[in-house]
Structure 1
Amino acid sequence: MELEKVIRDWFFDLYFDALTAIYFASMNDFNSFFASENYKQKVHPDESKLLH
């Protein structure tokens, strides 16, 4: 899998302590995920602490 190669090649050199890969079957699924109340209330508030 290409993502596994990227992780092996880059992950440790970039000093990340976590990585998440999210796959969606369609753009509708993608849009639904980011529009969901669960995402807005639980995930989005932490993004400013997790994404740099």
Structure 2
Amino acid sequence: MHGIISSTLYRAAFRDPVLQRQFDRALLSVLLDNWYEQLQLKYLQQLN
């Protein structure tokens, strides 16, 4: 990661409520099974 580009808050918007629920479930799954932390450690060597 380079300090040139500051961090931002990303957002996702859905017109289809079914698609939104599917996305929310998938995101929750990623967060609950520590997959995101594993990616951070693998590529960034630290947790953000």
Q: Do both proteins adopt the same fold according to a TM-score greater than 0.5, normalized to the shorter chain? A: no
Give the number of the structure whose residues are more often helix, by fraction: 1
* Higher relative contact order (CA closer than 8 Å, sequence separation 6+): 2
Which TM-score band applies after superposition, normalised by the shorter structure?
0.3 to 0.5
Q: What TM-score, normalized to structure 2?
A: 0.38
Query: TM-score, normalising length from structure 1?
Result: 0.36
